[in-house]
Structure 1
Amino acid sequence: MVAAPGHALVTGGAGFLGSHLCELLLRNGFRVSCVDSFATGTATNVDHLREDPRFRLIEHDVTAPFPDVGDPTLVAHLASAASPRDYQRLPIETLHAGALGTMHALEVAERAGARFLLTSTSEVYGDPLEHPQRESYWGNVNPIGPRSVYDEAKRYAEALTMAHLRQRGTDVAIARIFNTYGPRMRADDGRMIPNFITQAIAGAPLTVAGSGTQTRSVCYVDDTVAGLYALVRSTLTGPVNIGNPRELSVRRIAEEIRDLVGSASVIESVPGAVDDPQRRCPDISLARRELGWEPQVTLRDGLRRTVDWFAGHRPDAAA
């Protein structure tokens, strides 16, 4: 566990989720070294942090050995393409981030005696046959399908993390993150919430993959990073599900966003993605019991904050 604020190394720290974690760590007294290759992240996500003398931004690809980053007390490994559009555009890079990137980040943690946090994903459960998904569930994953580059990268990363614990005694924790949304998501990253918001703001049809009856659980980013922070401050190894246990259909989420925007957009069905999970919802009993954590932000409040952020970051917003 991380007993007190120290030096945190955050890979993928200029990404959507990583930038929020960097912000939270600084707020809690850490010095933060943010490492990012900018393959999917952007320096603008952390521009507001760069005036803080405790923050530094390091451009580096985690698939290569790390430069001298000092002696962190926490290594949080978030570097990976996370949206289907990105990891299908960068399939080999995604696999390398899960394999080589995790290896290099673990080596830094081992040398420094640091707590290591792997941000894994609900995608390790695949199209689940168990519902809701508990951490003990092994999953139903197609290892050669178009989503496999992300699924298998994270499954391998989990295996490598546990091997480090068993063979070398590295202090590790694994979080399995379910769908997270909020400010700083890219409008073009292909995930449903930014898609629906940008379509609704433009008055365009909201494109729902498949029937729209498939379900997701969506967690506001502030809640997700609070769960990650609770995990690194604990002695728990995990894996631990971090997500919102409220299950909603994709069509319902589209309708909520359309109503918040006040749009007249119609909802249109488009072909579903290959291996798209039909149900996705976490069992968060472990996080509640061991971390005292559960989501606090309601769907409507989280979506309102996200819609407002997107509305303020349109190309014409400053006009």
Structure 2
Amino acid sequence: MMNLKTEEIKVIAELPYSWEKIKDKTILVSGGTGFIGTAFVDVIKYRNQKYNENIKVISFSRRGGESSEYLECIKANVKQPLHYEGKIDYIIHLASNTHPEQYAEDPIGTIMTNIYGCDNLLKLAVEKKARFLLASSVEIYGQGTAIPMNEEYCGYIDCNLARSGYNEAKRTCEALTQSYRSVFGVNAVIARFARVFGADKKHDTKAMSQFMDKAVLGEDIILKSKGQQRYSYCYIADAVSGLLKLLLDGQDGEAYNISNDDDGLTLGEYAEYIASLANLKVRYEIENNESVSKATFALLDTHKIKNIGWKPQYSVKDGLKRTYMIKKEQLTNVD
């Protein structure tokens, strides 16, 4: 019987995309051992095994990793100049500090990893004449009034807060990408992800990940705010399918929102639904927290990416249920 994770890989890998564009190509992924990067590699592995597409993935990450037939894992610090002797056709920049507590504890590192990493990978894109895909974030919109936010919207970010370092760094990376297009002619596209969730996200300090971890362990969920914030979310499988769609068909120079179709859950609704999966309760313990985003809502408009043929395969609640089931299975296997 196919498990849920394997089923999702198959669903993404069998989508009617322009896969021929990456047949026999080499794709470099920064952060290839991270949350989105790992899922992306799994899909490419499926395509290679089933369709013999000979797609090679080079993974640059701090941990390195174990190489295999179509995967070359290289231990690399993207903040340092990057070199690779072979050909590279595509570069996907996923490497980034995405943990809120680290935004507060290491705001300088958060900024520098994003900006230096982006600059070094763009330099490599110039050298290799590679197409460049930047993974950006809903955080670039800051606090706003538009419902939903399309790709032309620009909200308010208080640059005098250390927590804003991540938001401003992502904005700078987008500007840097456009500058490399203008000066060096780099072919580039930008993916702006909603809040991505799923079963394989480890050591994550985002509230939504902590809620799920509590539920899987059978512990009541603790919400440290009134839970009135309303956000768009994106299940990991849909994040990867969106990433692939942009890699293959995204227009040079354009940014695209990637989010599930739901109108957005409040953080409280999100917590309550997860609690219901495990027959648990949500406890409200309101406190001040410097690592928490100041945005009270961030709902993304996805018409632009849908116009090039993408659509999510899962609803947020479907994704949450699948995440819970996969994590429970993983916990059982460990026990």
In the alignment, the residues of structure 1 paired with residue 74 and residue 278 of structure 2 have an alpha-carbon distance, to the nearest angstrom, of: 37
Structure-1 separation of matches of 2:242 and 2:186 = 21
Q: Matches of 1:136 and 1:14 in 2, distance apart? A: 32
Quote how far apart the aligned CAs of 1:61 are. 0.6
Out of 291, 295, 298, the position equivalent to 1:277 is: 295
Q: 1:296, CA displacement in angstroms?
A: 1.5
Q: Distance in 1 between matches of 2:289 and 2:74?
A: 35
Larger mean Cα displacement after TM superposition, 280-289 or 266-275: 266-275
Evaluate the alpha carbon distance shift between residue 243 and residue 266 of structure 1 in structure 2; reply closer, same or farther with a 3 A threshold: closer
Change (3 A) 1:272 1:125: farther
Report the alpha carbon displacement of residue 58 of structure 1 after superposing the two structures with TM.
0.9
Deviation at residue 220 of structure 1 after TM alignment:
0.8
Contact preservation (8 Å) 1:205, 1:266: yes
Per-residue CA deviation, residues 28-64 of structure 1 (Å, 9 max, x unaligned), is 44210111114xxx95xxx6xx4x4010111111000
**Contact residue 225 and residue 284 of structure 2 kept, 8 A:** no
Change (3 A) 1:273 1:135: farther
Please point out which of 32, 35, 38 is paired with 2:57: 32
* Aligned counterpart, 2:319: 302
Q: How does 1:260-271 map to 2 (within 5 A)?
A: 260-262=277-279, 264-271=280-287
User: Is residue 17 of structure 1 aligned with residue 42 of structure 2?
Assistant: no
Find the counterpart in structure 2 of residue 139 from structure 1: 155
Mapped partners of 1:204, 1:183: distance in 2: 17
Residue 317 of structure 1, CA deviation: 4.7
Contact preservation (8 Å) 2:258, 2:302: yes
The answer for the alignment partner of 2:208 in structure 1 is 193
8 Å CA contact 2:193, 2:234 repeated in 1: no
Alignment of 1:95 with 2:120, yes or no, is no
CA RMSD of aligned residues (A): 2.0
Number of the residue aligned with 1:77: 93
Contact persistence 2:27–2:92 (CA under 8 A) = yes
Q: 1:272-295 CA deviation, whole Å, 9 max, x = no partner?
A: 545521111100111111x21121
Give the TM-score normalised by the residue count of structure 1. Answer: 0.89
Contact 1:245–1:281 (CA under 8 A) maintained in structure 2: no
The DSSP-based 3-state class of the residue aligned with 2:91 is strand
Matched, 1:312 2:325: no
2:272 to 232, 245, 255: 255
Matched position secondary structure for 1:10: strand
Whether the aligned pair in 2 keeps the contact of 1:177 and 1:243 (CA below 8 Å) is: yes
Can you list the C-alpha shifts for 1:210-256, whole angstroms capped at 9, x where unaligned?
21111111111111111111111115132111112421111111111
Return the alpha-carbon distance in structure 1 between the equivalents of residues 334 and 119 of structure 2. 43
Cα distance between partner residues in 1 of 2:103 and 2:58: 25
Contact 2:223 2:282 in 1 (8 A): no
Alpha-carbon separation, structure 2, partners of 1:97 and 1:252: 33
1:62/1:105 contact within 8 Å kept: yes
Q: Secondary structure of the equivalent of 1:270?
A: coil
Contact 1:197/1:257 (CA < 8 Å) preserved in 2? yes
Paired residue total: 306
Kept in 2, the 8 Å contact 1:83–1:190? The answer is yes
Deviates more, 1:275-284 or 1:73-82: 275-284
Q: 1:208 to 1:308 in 2, by over 3 A?
A: same
Contact 1:133 1:281 in 2 (8 A): yes
Q: 23-32 or 105-114: which moved more?
A: 23-32
Please give the secondary structure, in 2, of the residue aligned with 1:67.
coil
Change (3 A) 1:214 1:69: farther
Counterpart of 2:50 in structure 1 is: none
Structure 2: how far apart are the matches of 1:54 and 1:102?
Answer: 25
Q: Tell me the equivalent position of 1:234.
A: 249
Contact kept, 8 Å, 1:129 with 1:140, in 2: the verdict is no
Asked whether 1:168 is paired with 2:187, we answer no
Distance 2:288 2:44 in 1: 38
Correspondent of 1:179 among 191, 195, 202:
195
3-state SS in 1 of match to 2:298:
coil
Q: 1:8 aligns with which of 6, 27, 32?
A: 27
> What is the rounded CA distance, in whole Å, between the counterparts of 1:306 and 1:89 in structure 2?
28
Q: What TM-score comes out, normalization by structure 2 length?
A: 0.85
- SS at the partner of 1:233? helix
- Percent sequence identity is 28
For 1:105 and 1:74, how far apart are their aligned partners in 2?
A: 11
**Inter-CA distance 231–271: structure 2 relative to 1 (3 Å threshold):** same
Which residues of structure 1 form unaligned runs of 5+? none
Alignment deviations for residues 127-172 of structure 1 (CA, whole Å, 9 cap, x no partner):
2222211110122111121321211111110000000111111000
CA distance in 2, matches of 1:168, 1:297: 39
